[in-house]
A = this chain, B = another copy of it.
Amino acid sequence: MESNVRAGVYGGSGYAGLDLVEILIGHPRIDLVFATSNTYAGDEAPGANLRYSTADSVSLEQVDVIFLALPHKASAAMAKRGIDKGVNVVDLSADLRLDTPEAYEQSYQSPHPHPELLPTPYGLPEINRENIAGADVVATPGCYPTTTLLGIYPLLQVNALCEETAIIVDAKSGVTGAGRKPSLATHFAEVYGNLIPYKTGRSHRHIGEMEQEAHKVSDRIGPIIFCPHLLPVDRGLMSSIYVTLNDTMESDQLHELYAEIYGSEALVDVLPAGEQATLRHAVKTNKCVISITPVLPRHAHITSVTDNLRKGAASQAVQNMNLMFGFDETMGLI
């Protein structure tokens, strides 16, 4: 019997980190060696038989793989250290998602701290599985790009979109998506009973990776008009996607297309025609759930939902790790 893979989590007390610890604890081939949290060092990590350590008090020698749920920049630095020590790295931050330092600088308004790490395989297994399997470092996508890209991927693959028309993505996320650090924007009394558009007008940093990855599949598409909203719930993310087709397909053929392309995917559910994906389809699951609604012959409405902390972060990180180590891709996830 093979010995387990020893894992460490950096940033284990943020919302993604908490879910990551929970999933890794239940993973049959992982021994969770440490979870760091400078804020909560010494406290018990909920659900794990483990206390948080400071980042300084743990060593890369103890582990085979590290998960980085750190602020951006801190993450790249740690990734670099891990790679140099021969430890596998699953990064959940934005640091390694963009292929070039220039793209990074454009989205994040500062030079990339470790341009030598780019490009890193983009960790969206349903689209990029072959580059993840066996990689030493993987960049787990953001929650919005995951949900949105899975929602349009079949259309990109068959080049069915009208090039002259924008892809409209009206997205809504639960508040855990904004992180655990207190702020007025996440104060209960500010969010309760409210619905708040934010980072409007293509200002959200996730647009860069969405377009980068979409264009790798098809360059015959219009711009992505993306607007996120803060939803008064704790978890769950919905991308409501409105697309215009070119003349190669009509909207009533889309369901079959999606059903075929995702037919063998364990972590993407395409709902039966006529059924609508709701937030709750995905909350506390590790799946992306998609419904397709033909609106007019050339217009379709696609609803794609995930749990922003699971398929949008922690469980997708574990899915990537499974591929990196040659485990069954869904091990510990279904």
- Name A residues whose Cβ lies closer than 8 Å to a Cβ of B: 15, 165-166, 168, 170, 172, 174-176, 180, 182-184, 186-198, 200-202, 223, 225, 227, 229, 231-236, 238, 240, 242, 244, 276-280, 283-284, 291, 293-296, 299, 301, 303
Contact = CB atoms under 8 A, between A and B. Distances in A.
Given A168-B242, A278-B196, A295 B201 contact: yes
Contacts of A234: 188-189, 192-193
Contacts of A196: 276, 278-279
Contacts of A183: 182
A3 to B, nearest CB: 26
B193 A279 contact: yes
Q: What 10 A-B pairs are tightest by C-beta distance, nearest first?
A: A182-B182, A170-B170, A195-B279, A175-B188, A200-B293, A201-B293, A188-B191, A189-B234, A194-B280, A192-B234
28 contacts: A15-B189, A166-B242, A166-B299, A168-B170, A175-B189, A180-B189, A187-B187, A188-B232, A189-B235, A193-B280, A194-B278, A194-B279, A195-B238, A195-B278, A197-B277, A197-B278, A197-B303, A198-B276, A201-B301, A202-B295, A223-B296, A223-B299, A225-B295, A225-B299, A225-B301, A227-B293, A232-B232, A242-B242
Contacts of A283: 193
A165 B236 CA distance: 31
B165 A165 contact: yes
Given A197-B303, A200-B301, A296-B225, A166 B231 contact: no
A185 B279 CA distance: 14
Contacts of A175: 187-189, 192
A201 B231 CA distance: 23
Copies of this chain, complex-wide, total 4
Contacts of A284: 284
A182 B193 contact: no
Given A201-B301, A223-B299, A293-B200, A233 B195 contact: yes
Nearest to A174: B189
Nearest to A296: B223
A201 to B, nearest CB: 4
A190 B233 CA distance: 11
A257 to B, nearest CB: 17
A265 to B, nearest CB: 18
A182 to B, nearest CB: 4
